[in-house]
Chain A
């Protein structure tokens, strides 16, 4: 009741005095609220500054924002796109109504560099607003503004290498599919081929035709948007999970008689092969489906699911290009046949080539995935540097020891397994994994996969190849990869 007594005493004072004390008292609360609001507004302002300075550049490069790009293009000549070796990949020529976007390499960079019109694709889209910003000296820009001359947009330096791109493009020949090469230590995308392709110089005239061609979908960049069954390349993931559960891999043994039956599913080896007595290394090297079905049947599904998530299945990829998410159905509740199918890369699992390249790059780079990048620097039209992008680590996908064991397995593929066509390289050695992914009822048809890296002792570059319907990975995809590696190491 002390409270009440105090109140009584309070009323005993003169009204004015009490009001004044009261006032002082209440202002404390008002002060607190004022400060809370000031802090909230400062935080809001900080957010806006942060967004404008650091996030807006990548955010605004969106096809839904193309109207603003058009408006900028009225005042700025779209800048150049240049390769890592200094060649012009795209530039604007002519002026006024004659202004056209020219791609000197034609269809070679059709998907990687892309095209600027029709909403934009490739680097043209990724760097859309950078190309339309001028960082020329201010006096020059003002002079141009005053004279009503368009200013020159900035030049974008890519990580793409014309020599490597050409090698990949030629080696891939008339196949449908994709080739992608990544520098495993920096994440730089060195080459990216997708076929069928088109000549971006003629995009306006070809647009309707290319768009309507649903059978070949030439406009789709298969390297990042193509979802394929991974086939035996998925055994990298299954092997990783096995290694995690059994760090001593020498304990594994299996006798392959051509097929493996577990509960009510039977898995057969590719083209009816019988591999005989195997350990983990030879199971992997010879890509034995029966052995890997056996391995999968023993794996902890919950942990397998976690490993897949860590390798970015069913989730976002750090891809500068627009991409599709890979999917795999392994979890607590999935049925045994589904899991076993997934474990050998068949069933409903789907991956994009760039995703497979990222996994391979992480294996090669001691378990760490460097964030893939395609733009390395921005310069103004006169060549003065504006900005450089340094390589950044994206995530550790596996431990150093796990990656070492996987590298050993992948090396064995070339030494004694399905990757034998990659033997005898000049001055460097390749490691990798082949895949022959069945994609229809007709079991004789398969997509040919190869994903690998080189040199084995100090990996620099990862290459992933997918050739649609081209048969076995070892026969069709590995030789393409070899030519890409050769081109890189003969430089």
Chain B
């Protein structure tokens, strides 16, 4: 092989390696797609079933992080999902099974529900407007439409807490239901307001700042 031929071959090899490296680099930014779940249509209307768990599944990339799980319409099963597909301009009945313990709100104001139909929600069957901010475990909030519902945490002395998701309903939990009207088509983010990210300053790092755990979107179609 001539010197210039070797040089050309070298350049080709380097160029190929660089292209592969660039593709890998971009792919690393593209792969993080959190799971998605569609609302369940029943005779009573559109239902969204959610569960908040103290720790994601043991095989999750972050098994110690708090997270949301959801029931998808297709297989009617719990899955790790934070993107919820809902129909537009519809009343959606949300049921949240809350397995996590009490943490308390940084801003007690968020202990009051807003944006639901009637401004109320039910906690274990009882209709309420607000809870004691110190008993909140999480908040389900969609700020763009003013929706915010505090989720009452289970007692710290609960006998049978759930350790890792998925959590069966035989574990200690509280059940919160509320109804809200979905907005026009679009992508709306939701978040939690309780400093529930253990081990992070102000309780707001990690799962609280990673889409796929305590943050996600509702995709209104």
Do A and B make up one complex?
A: no
